Amino acid sequence: MGEQGVKRRLLTVRVQPRAFRQQLEKISENEFRARLTSAPEKGKANAELLELLADYLGVPVSSLRLVRGETARVKVVELTELQK
């Protein structure tokens, strides 16, 4: 049996809610700019952000977790990946 490790990475995302269209732009290895169509109310924009990031990175939404900035424009998201 192979041993699996867990790799964690912190991603910084600057968010613009209520944008005309949804867009994710990679600024650097761990930094993104996101334009979201959802309003920043009741966690809608945060949920949209996690779905957009998961799709872009090719990972399940469950591997992403908002760790800082729940009500701020600059958010920190933790990405957890299994390594073989």
CATH number at residue 28: 3.30.1200.10
Give the predicted TM-score (pTM) of the model.
0.89
Domain tally for the chain? 1
E strands, 1-83, are 5-16, 23-28, 31-35, 64-68, 74-83
For residue 43, the enclosing domain spans 5-83
| Tens of pLDDT, residue by residue, the chain (84 residues) | 445 788 999 999 999 999 999 999 999 999 999 999 999 999 999 999 999 999 999 999 999 999 999 999 999 999 998 776
Predicted confidence at residue 84, as pLDDT, reads 66
Residues facing residue 32 across a β-bridge: 13, 26
Q: How many residues does the chain have?
A: 84
Specify whether the CB–CB gap between 80 and 4 falls below 8 A.
Answer: no
Q: What is the pLDDT of residue 6?
A: 86
